[in-house]
Structures are given as structure tokens and as C-alpha cells.
Amino acid sequence: MFCEKPISLNLDESDECYNLAKSKGLFLLVAFQRRYDPTFVKLKEVVEEGGIGTLQKVRTVSRDNPVPSIEYLKTSGGIYHDCLSHDIDLIRWVTCMEPIEVFSYGTNFIDEIKGIDDFDNVDCLLKFENGIIANIDVSRKAVYGYDQRITCLGDKGIVTANNEHPTSVVVGTIDGFTYDPNHYSFPTRYNKAYTFEIEHYLDLLLGVTDTPKLTHRDVHNNAIIAHALEHSARIGKPVKIEGLI
């Protein structure tokens, strides 16, 4: 089985789907496509191989383009589960750790989004037991194009995955240098990631591998952390992470 995230906004329903799949001897693969992106895969390899020493800080930026329709946003589960869950998964994947405490602040500049009791700009802090601090910067509106970046800081260096552009052409004139704007939106930015994600799903179906790159634990914990961050934004206080598996 292959499913877009989230399976359900009800965590018990999500767990039930995984347990049912397991009882039938089936794989259930949920789509968090950034794990399959070649740029992010390379960044993770650098961190894992000690290329920047001991990891200390992680920062992700995810800014949407275009602003999704209100009709979609009403059923999306909100910015924390729709957008920010990808950043949560990316940080957990890169650090190979779970946060112990989170804090988030959300605000609004788009009246229509405020009207459905959601946020359009969010910042988050995630604290890990070994001292790592992660920051997530998410916005629903980036007029300059789809903005997807991650930076990892270690005691021996830094590794950054910057935005990708449709071409690498740079034009230099008396007015300075210009290059293509960011990809317009996620279908083109993650074109390769979606391809590799489907290939991984086919490998599971054909028995080439029996190890899903995303497990029940990943999906469950991503949802727990997203819930905690949204709760933090609504109460204005840090929230301890509980209920991980």
C-alpha cells in the first residue's frame, strides 16, 4: 500500500492502518518525499560520515508557492500536518534522533487562512537530549518561488542544501548577475524525489528490498511532534514530547 501523508489526523486511525497492513503481511509506505531527494540524501551522508564533526544545530526553511487554495487548506489538516510534517521528518531523518521538547509560534498575514483557524507563518524550535537544537521556518507565501533549504552546523564545519533552479545558467551584465528563479512549486522541485519514491515502492512490491525507508514509527512520531508543535503555538508555551514509539 502507498499513501500520501497524513493517513489520518486521528493517530489511532493511522496506527490501526499500520497494524492492519502488518496483520496482512503487507507494506504500508507513506509519502514523505524529501527522504528521496538526491540533494538531501547527500547532505545526510555528509552528516552521518562525520564531515562536519559533531552535529549541533539544524535549520530548515520551507516556504510555499503558490499559496494553496482555501478549499484545499480547509481539508489539509493545517500547516503543521500539511507543510511542517515534512520538515519534522527531514530533521528526524538527518539527526537520527527524536526531540524531547518543542516550542512554536504561529501568526497570520493572510485573512482567509486566519478565518479557518490556521496559521500562514510559523517558526519552531526542537530540543534534543544530546543538546542539538533544530529550527523550522515555514511560510505559506513566497512570491520569489518555492523555497526549500536545510543547514546543518557541526563543531568542524557546516553543510547546506540550497534551493534548486530550473537551469544553472547565470547571466552577468553591468547590472549584476541574474539566474533562474526558484522552481515554481513542489512538482518540479521534487521531480526526482517522486521518481525515486515510486521506485522504492516498486522495489518493496517486487521483493528487491523488505525494508521501507519510512516506517510506522516514523509516521507515528512525525504526527506526535506536529501535534505538540501546534499545541505549543496555541498555548504559547513549550511542550514536552510524549507518546513516541
Q: Residue 244: which of 84, 99, 87 has the closest Cα?
A: 99
171 beta partners: 178
Classified as helix, coil or strand, 167 is: coil
- At residue 9, the pLDDT reads 87
Entry pTM: 0.95
Cα-only R_g, the chain: 19
Classified as helix, coil or strand, 100 is: strand
What is the rounded average pLDDT of the residues 125-143?
A: 98
- Whether 179 has a pLDDT exceeding 90, the answer reads yes
What is the rounded average pLDDT of the residues 173-202?
A: 96
**Average pLDDT in the chain:** 96
Domains of the chain: 33-236 (3.30.360.10)
- Whether 152 has a pLDDT exceeding 90, the answer reads yes
Number of other CB atoms surrounding residue 115 within 10 Å: 11
Q: Convert the pLDDT of each residue in 97-132 to its tens digit.
A: 999 999 999 999 999 999 999 999 999 999 999 999
Kindly give the pairing relationship between strand 29-31 and strand 170-173: unpaired
- At residue 5, the pLDDT reads 87
In single-letter form, the type of residue at position 161 comes to A
C-alpha distance across the termini of the chain, in Å = 22
Q: Residue 118: which of 78, 89, 65 has the closest Cα?
A: 78
- What distance in Å separates the CA atoms of residue 90 and residue 85, rounded to the nearest whole number? 9
